[in-house]
Structure 1
């Protein structure tokens, strides 16, 4: 995969990455407003033209350009950039013009899943710092197992809230008087009423139907 500028190790890894299969013609959020890049399917289509390779890299790397050959972008949507460093065994979640909720609150001292303590500028080469810290000094790197445990935690705690079977939004630190936060609280209540987070009790279909009714009511109430 020379036109991707990636090492053989990364190329082999891409073909084995897990992926959330979309429903027909509709992508599925893996977290709040981000989709995972379907690298496994892309690997099956190799070799690609230089033009197609450039499009795929732009989609997965966003505005970040100096990405080393041992690093790969994991997401598909701009401003949710997420990178896997195969040498260090770290996942970076800098985002783009907007900072993702998990990264934003990870700057606090008392979070459940703190990022690694080192600042990127202290260990990375100058050209590699921007994508490692969003160019703003953010600490946004986690060991791979910790990163995915963190995402699962935010789903359990309903900081990541599925609005339907394909869309997930984040709700971390809005004030109690925020109108949208009040709506998210109502949706959290629906999840709890249907057994969340106990997967042995949770009634997914009934929960999703109840959330849809709530969202329809919300849309009708505030429709201009």
Structure 2
């Protein structure tokens, strides 16, 4: 399991080749809400994708937030096609564990979701969150529109300034366009609803996001 502690991103040339389709079954509905976790989603809803450490606890935070219609966990930001969990943990796919959040912008803004994202993990830890070490635990915001990109970059700058003022290391969150989002295996989906006493990693800074500094053109 040497590569489970790998903290240097693999290059595209060294990444695992992957496969052309899933080798496991992806659930169609959310274990908690019964709603679909794969598109198409109802008209008017928007999608956000975040990486903030172990996706079990991260997903739980977002499915409980008012205005969130459905969630799912998966892998993004890498090179390997249709990876499985073991491959992602090897450090040889380039992916991070991520949460897909489908939300109603009439109820909760994208900016509020980004603020929550920054508050519930430590975005200064690089390729880790707490005791979880590896490139698959890195902090990331993966935008789907130019409006989301603008919000994400402004939020990163605002929270980075807050962190610096409190003596934290520089923020390491990557802000990048969303590439392919590969759904994780069935047992990972809404894991903490199935295993209430399961593992949660919330290596937070304890700081509140300065929402007054964030106008949200994506709302």
What is the TM-score normalised by the length of structure 1?
A: 0.26
Structure ranking higher in helix proportion: 1
Task: From the CA coordinates, give the structure whose radius of gyration is larger.
Answer: 1
Which structure has more relative contact order (CA 8 Å, sep 6+)? It is: 2
TM-score between the two structures when normalised by the length of structure 2: 0.26
